[in-house]
Amino acid sequence: MKQYGGYLIDLDGTMYKGEEEIEAAPRFIHALKERNIPYLFLTNNASLTQKTIAEKLNGFGIPAVPEDVFSTALATAKYISEQKSDARCFIVGENGLLEAIEQNGLQIVDEDADYVVMGLDRKVNYDKLAAACLQIRAGARFISTNSDMAIPREKGLYPGNGAITTAVEASTGVKATYIGKPETIIMEEAVRLLGKKKEQILMVGDNYKTDIQAGINTSLDTLMVFTGVSKREDLADLPTQPTYHENNLDNWIAKLT
C-alpha cells in the first residue's frame, strides 16, 4: 500500500458523530502523531469556530489545536476577501462564520450587501430567509459555505446547510457559489496549508458526495470509512470508486508504517 506524507481528515461522521464518539478516531490521530505525519482537520461545518472545534476534538481524546482545523467558514471568508477586501456581507449563519468574516476584515450588514453568505444556522427563520432573498434580488452575490443536504447526528441525519440554501435558490432562481467539499475552492487552500504535494496526501471521510468527491475533484487519493453517511452497500453504485475503503479507522492504523 502507498504511504502518505499528509492527511486531510473530515470531522462529522469520521472523527465523531454529533456529540457521539467514534472509538477508532483518537487511536488514528495518535498513530499519525507518533509517526510525525502531518494532518489537517477539514470540515464543512461553518457554525463553529476553530477554537470550539479543537476543544470538541480534545473532549473526545483527539489531540487538536485551533490551527489544526480548516473550516468552510474560513475558506468562504478568504474567498470573498480575495474578491473584494471590504465587502459588505449579509450572513445567515452562526459563530464560526461570523468570526471568520470579521477576522478577514469584511463587514457584516443587514442591508445593501455585496454578498449574501449562507452557512448552517440552527436558528434560521422565515424572516431571515426572506431578507436573504431580498438582498440577492437586489444584486448581492450568493455564496454558500457548503452543499451538504444532511449531516450525521446521534439520532440520524439532520438537515444540512445545502437544504437551507436550496430553499433560497428555489425562491430567487439564483444558484449559489459553493465553497466547501466537494468543491475545489476549499480543497486547494487546504492542500496549500498542509504543505504537501497532492500525490502525497490522502483525503479521509465518511461521505462520498462531499469528502470523497472532494478528493477526487482535487486529484487526491481517498479513504472512505463507513462510520457516518455513506454505507458499504453504496459502493457498487458509485460512479468513481474511492482509492480505499474501510469499515473504520482501526483497520487503517495497521497499514501505517
Distance of CA 132 to the CA centre of its chain: 22
Under 8 Å between Cβ of 154 and 19: yes
What residues contact residue 131 under an 8 Å CB cut-off, 6+ apart?
A: 90, 110
- Could you tell me the three cell numbers for 253? 492504523
For 217-241, what is the mean pLDDT?
93
pLDDT of residue 74: 96
**pLDDT tens-digit map of 91-134:** 999 999 999 999 999 999 999 999 999 999 999 999 999 999 99
pLDDT at residue 153 greater than cutoff 90: no
Q: Mean pLDDT across the stretch 122-148?
A: 96
pLDDT at residue number 18: 83
Quick: pLDDT tens for 52-106: 999 999 999 999 999 999 999 999 999 999 999 999 999 999 999 999 999 999 9
Specify the higher pLDDT residue, 70 or 149.
70
Work out the mean pLDDT of the chain and round it to a whole number. Answer: 94
The tens digit of pLDDT for each residue in 19-57 reads 899 999 999 999 999 999 999 999 998 999 999 999 999
Residue-range domains of the chain with CATH: 6-71+181-253 (3.40.50.1000), 85-178 (3.40.50.1000)
Q: What gap in Å lies between CA 87 and CA 105, rounded to an integer?
A: 8
Cell representation of residue 109: 450588514
Residue 154: count of CB within 10 angstroms of its CB? 10
pLDDT at 228 (0 to 100): 86
Contact in structure between 212 and 224 (CB atoms under 8 Å): yes
Predicted confidence at residue 255, as pLDDT, reads: 87
Helix 95-103 to helix 50-59 angle, to the nearest 10 degrees? 130
At 143, is the secondary structure helix, strand, or coil? strand
Give the residue-averaged pLDDT of 231-249: 92
Give percent above pLDDT 90 in the chain: 86
| Exposed / middle / buried, residue 59 (Cβ in 10 Å: 0-12, 13-18, 19+) | exposed
CB-CB contact of 143 with 179 (8 Å): yes
Question: Which of 92-101, 201-210, 248-257 has the least mean pLDDT?
Answer: 248-257
Residue 1 has pLDDT above 90, yes or no: no
Residue 151 has pLDDT above 90, yes or no: no
> What span, in angstroms and rounded, lies between the C-alpha atoms of 142 and 60?
36
The CB-side HSE value for 51 (13 A sphere, CA atoms) comes to 3
With pLDDT > 70 as the criterion, what percentage of the chain qualifies? 100
